[in-house]
Amino acid sequence: MGSKSVRFRCHSCGHCCTDVICLPTPWDIVRMVRDIRVDPKKFLDFIKPDEITEVEEDDPTWIKVRNQKYLMGLKRGAKGCFFLDKKDRTCTIYDSRPLLCRLYPFCHEETRDGKHLGFSLHKDVGCPRHRDGVVSVEPLKALLDEEEEHRRDYRDLVEVFNRREYPGKSPKDFISLFVEIQSKTKTPKTAKA
Ligand code: SF4
Ligand code: SF4
């Protein structure tokens, strides 16, 4: 069933926190807010199709408001992600960071019939892919499974949101929708690694 490890070491070049837009899931945000106690409207942005590439047009996480599509992402400026320390270039919420940040730059490999095969390194996401380390596959697979569960919930929430029509609807209302649902559930889903 594939290799138990993948050769990689992060050399903290900062590319993934500067040049890549991070797309968190609602559960990531709920967990981040629980940990860092910051209003999500301060660190989230709603990105239009011409601001992002490599997300399919029919991706089910596009939020729709009056014929315009948006993706929910972490805010960023010229120097990178909202959560990147601008001096030492480290993540200021490392233990609470979104699942996609934890999975970068790993790429899941599957058999033709969709069975788990292993992990490799994405060739086209800009990471220099240094091979002088060893990363165990087991925690990556746990993260991937969790990410897939998050995505299923995410799709359901977007479907509910996109069906709602009312005057003054704004992409930011999507945040209120999942914060409202979360407040009625017991515990935020947590990242395992
Ligand atoms: S792009 Fe790769 S090497 Fe650079 S900080 Fe991100 S994971 Fe580390
Ligand atoms: S949340 Fe942290 S790890 Fe993720 S892009 Fe922002 S600074 Fe980088």
Please give the chain's pLDDT, 193 residues, in tens.
468 999 999 998 889 999 889 999 999 999 999 899 999 999 999 999 999 988 999 999 999 999 999 999 999 998 899 999 988 889 999 999 999 999 999 999 999 888 888 999 998 888 999 999 999 999 999 999 999 999 999 999 999 999 999 999 999 999 998 877 776 665 556 665 5
**Closest listed ligand to the CA of 102:** 2
Grouping H, G, I as helix, E, B as strand and the rest as coil, residue 107 is strand
Tokens representing 102 are: 């934890």
Phi, psi torsion values for 22, nearest 5 degrees: -90, 130
Judge whether 105 lies within some domain: yes
Asked whether 20 lines ligand 2 (CB < 6 A), one says no
Q: Tell me if 90 sits within 8 A of 33, measured CB to CB.
A: no
Report yes or no on 191 lying in a domain: no
Q: Residue 44: enclosing H or E segment and its boundaries? A: strand 44-47
Q: Is residue 155 part of a domain?
A: yes
Is position 65 within any domain? Answer: yes
Cβ neighbours of residue 1 under 8 Å, at least 6 residues apart? 116, 117, 118
Name the residue of 7, 9, 12, 90 whose CB sits within 8 Å of the most ligand 1 atoms, as the mutation to test its pocket: 12
Going from the Cα of 143 to the center of ligand 1, the distance in angstroms, rounded, reads 18
Domain region containing 92: 5-167
In a domain, 180, yes or no: no
Q: Is 13 in the pocket of ligand 1 (CB under 6 A)?
A: yes
Q: How many domains does the chain have?
A: 1
How far apart, in whole angstroms, are the C-alpha atoms of residue 73 and residue 89? 19
